[in-house]
């Protein structure tokens, strides 16, 4: 982390700039100051969310007005984006302060507000410079959140630092070149995380994958010189009481060329980030341990590199998944569902209370929901609702999509139990999820298609160009408030038979 965030009861004496959150209408949050409306109008500042305006102060320091948006719509996400805007605007200074006095706590506690502001500032300040010959010079080193509720705010800051560490890990992994981050190297990094965070660790190599019958993962990886891996991490809280088990599953394609169904060059450019789901699972496990959440969590990361080598799976091949079901591979570029099928079969065998998978799975989900929203599907309404609530609080938007039984004909195969492609141009995100549902049995299961929000095309808000770490904050929020579901799926919505 480039910035140290602290809570202070007064503005530090060496602060070079003071941030003042302002609602639309130019009303400062603390209600004790006045804003020069004429100067704001002249310079186009309205208080809209994410706007900022640097003004000189009479004592020689600077004041930075930061927009919070409409007062009746301010939530935790608004505070994240406000703090991110302040951190970006003051990045050339060393010590700055953000005024939190008078912040309303009707919708969130002081701790939650401090967590959101810390997340926004630190995530906006993230930089990936591992391969730069000269790193950027350090600038902003200290951000003070000024408040009278220092104890409660400090708890939020501490929690945010853990979460941002996990998100930054995921961003780092997603941004690394595929030549550096192979399946084996990912497994080594996961082992290091496990050692530091007190997690149990297992990794299956290609020989052990064959012994376990994980031929979906093997089928995807057999065209590459870099052999596949299945990484398993487990977090168990230090508690004598019975706690529910949740299994997280992540797609980990460290590079996706499309295999023999080769992608075009433009589509291949960012395929080093096709392991973002597995990275998010790794980051979430690290955060679970560091936050001592009261929920047992297993993370399964299915790692492979999809390449068109001499041994590559060919269109028309049939792969047998661990649970015995077979998939006809008609397009080797629909590989994520093949590795997930094996991993979900393993997850179901753990007899968990619930399963959640994350994957940069389908282009159609981007067509449907754009680059900022993840598709949310599953077989249990309670689980889908809980993840939706967690995503809203975390500031990682999701949107539920149906899984209608009547769409299963799209993945029917003439020679196998199913095929790995649906009907061209029709419900691609849904038919991919319907295939995944075949491997979870009756266990409550939810699928997050993060193809859009897993990476950002620009620096915006608290996102930086490249990997975003999407999913970590949602999973931590979800697991921290997890309520057992009983291990049996129940769904009333989205099951209509279509004709």
What value does the mean pLDDT take over residues 252-267?
97
What value does the mean pLDDT take over residues 285-294?
97
Sign of CA dihedral 214, 429, 332, 418: positive
What value does the mean pLDDT take over residues 3-21?
94
Q: Is the pLDDT of residue 285 over 80?
A: yes
Percent of the chain with pLDDT over 90: 89
Percent of the chain with pLDDT over 70: 96
Binned at pLDDT 50, 70 and 90, residue 106 comes out as low
Q: Is the pLDDT of residue 156 over 50?
A: yes
pLDDT of amino acid 105: 63
What's 333's DSSP letter?
Answer: T
Domains defined along the chain, listed by start: 4-146 (3.40.220.10), 165-480 (3.40.630.10)
Please identify every residue annotated as catalytic: 263, 337
What value does the mean pLDDT take over residues 202-209?
98
Q: Is the pLDDT of residue 1 over 80?
A: no
pLDDT tens-place string over residues 169-185: 999 999 999 999 999 99
Tell me the whole-structure pTM to 2 decimals.
0.95
Give strand ranges (E) for 108-174. Answer: 142-146
Q: List the helix and strand counts (H, then E) for the chain.
A: 14, 20
Q: Is the pLDDT of residue 492 over 60?
A: no
Q: Is the pLDDT of residue 30 over 90?
A: no
pLDDT tens-place string over residues 66-75: 999 999 999 9
What's the CA gap between 303 and 226, in Å, rounded? 10
pLDDT of amino acid 366: 98
Token pair for 350: 């753990």
pLDDT of amino acid 497: 43
252 C-beta neighbours (distance < 10 Å), count: 35
User: Strand 398-400 to strand 62-69: parallel, antiparallel, or no bridges (unpaired)?
Assistant: unpaired
pLDDT of amino acid 498: 44
């Amino acid at each position: 982390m480039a910035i140290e965030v602290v809570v202070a009861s007064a503005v530090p004496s060496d602060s070079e700039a003071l941030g003042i959150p302002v609602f639309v209408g130019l009303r400062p949050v603390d209600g004790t100051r006045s804003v020069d409306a004429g100067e704001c109008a002249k310079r186009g500042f309205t208080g809209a969310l994410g706007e900022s305006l640097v003004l000189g102060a009479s004592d020689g320091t600077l004041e930075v007005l930061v927009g919070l948006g409409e007062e009746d719509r301010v939530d935790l996400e608004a505070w994240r984006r406000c703090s991110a805007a302040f951190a970006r605007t003051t990045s050339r200074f060393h010590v700055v302060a953000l005024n939190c006095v008078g912040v309303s706590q009707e919708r969130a506690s002081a701790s939650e507000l401090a967590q959101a502001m810390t997340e926004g500032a630190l995530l906006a300040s993230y930089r990936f410079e591992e391969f730069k010959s000269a790193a950027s010079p350090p600038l902003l080193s200290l951000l003070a959140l000024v408040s009278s509720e220092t104890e409660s705010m400090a708890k939020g800051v501490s929690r945010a630092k853990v979460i941002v560490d996990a998100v930054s890990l995921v961003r780092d992994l997603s941004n690394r070149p595929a030549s550096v981050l192979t399946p084996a190297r990912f497994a080594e990094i996961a082992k290091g995380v496990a050692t530091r965070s007190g997690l149990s660790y297992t990794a299956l190599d290609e020989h052990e994958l064959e012994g376990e019958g994980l031929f979906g993962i093997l089928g995807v990886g057999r065209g590459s010189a870099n052999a596949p891996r299945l990484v398993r991490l487990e977090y168990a809280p230090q508690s004598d009481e019975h706690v529910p088990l949740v299994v997280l599953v992540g797609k980990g394609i460290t590079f996706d060329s499309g295999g023999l169904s080769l992608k075009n060059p433009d589509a291949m450019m960012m395929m080093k980030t096709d392991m973002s789901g597995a990275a998010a699972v790794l980051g979430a496990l690290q955060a679970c341990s560091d936050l001592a959440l009261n929920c047992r969590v297993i993370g399964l990361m299915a790692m492979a590199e999809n390449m068109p080598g001499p041994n590559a799976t060919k269109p028309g091949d049939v792969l047998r998944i661990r649970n015995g079901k077979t998939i006809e591979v008609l397009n080797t570029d629909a590989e994520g569902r093949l590795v997930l099928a094996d991993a979900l079969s393993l997850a179901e065998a753990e007899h968990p209370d619930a399963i959640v998978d994350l994957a940069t799975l389908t282009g159609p989900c981007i067509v449907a929901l754009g680059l900022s929203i993840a598709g949310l599907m599953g077989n249990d309404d309670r689980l889908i609702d809980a993840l939706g609530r967690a995503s809203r609080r975390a500031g990682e938007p999701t949107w539920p999509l149906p899984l209608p039984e009547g769409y299963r004909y799209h993945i029917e195969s003439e020679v196998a139990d199913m095929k790995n492609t649906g009907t061209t141009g029709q419900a691609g995100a849904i038919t991919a999820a319907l295939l995944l549902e075949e491997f979870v049995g009756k266990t409550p299961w939810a699928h997050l298609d993060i193809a859009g929000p897993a990476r950002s095309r620009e620096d915006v808000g608290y996102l930086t160009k490249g990997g975003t770490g999407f999913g970590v904050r949602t999973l931590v929020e979800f697991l921290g408030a997890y309520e057992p579901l009983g291990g049996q799926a129940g769904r009333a919505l989205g099951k209509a038979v279509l004709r």
